[in-house]
Amino acid sequence: MPTLFPVPTARRVDSRRLLAVALIPFAASIAMASTVAATGFTASPLGESTSTLGFLLDFTTFCYLAVAMAHLSGAIADRTCGGMAAGLSMDEFDAPEPISGEEFWQAFPNHVDGAAIAGAVTMLCVIAGSLVG
């Protein structure tokens, strides 16, 4: 029986996409927390109500939630509208030939994997934030 939305199988791991999903938002949140620790204050009410660790967890939650929503919207756009060519450069003259949509979905993490990874880290940060207080 054919399925409405077939689940793609990963045939390779794309380290750049994995880095973009897993480590870059974490690096951004660490940089923000370092700024808070160095200056001792924040410009947002969010950081003023919690400790530096609480602010780190809140900002990490925000970063990963943004990544999850970007990947989820990319998956929806790809499935409904055919998506955008997955090249590495936005410059159309210097960009290499974009990979096909099928090849994009056969690499890990694809859009659904990216949304799931970022969503899981978001939930872990929310849980850790509730434990920290």
Nearest to 82 by CA among 104, 66, 113, 112: 104
Confidence of residue 6 (pLDDT cuts 50, 70, 90): low
Q: What is the mean pLDDT of residues 111-128?
A: 91
Higher pLDDT, 7 or 27: 27
3 state SS of 83: coil
Q: What is the mean pLDDT of residues 67-77?
A: 87
The confidence score (pLDDT) of residue 102 equals 65
Higher pLDDT, 117 or 49: 117
User: Is residue 126 over pLDDT 50?
Assistant: yes
pLDDT averaged over every residue in the chain? 76
User: Is residue 125 over pLDDT 60?
Assistant: yes
Overall pTM > 0.75: no
pLDDT for 25-52, tens place per residue?
889 888 877 777 677 665 555 545 567 6
CA angle 5, 103, 87 (to 5 degrees): 115
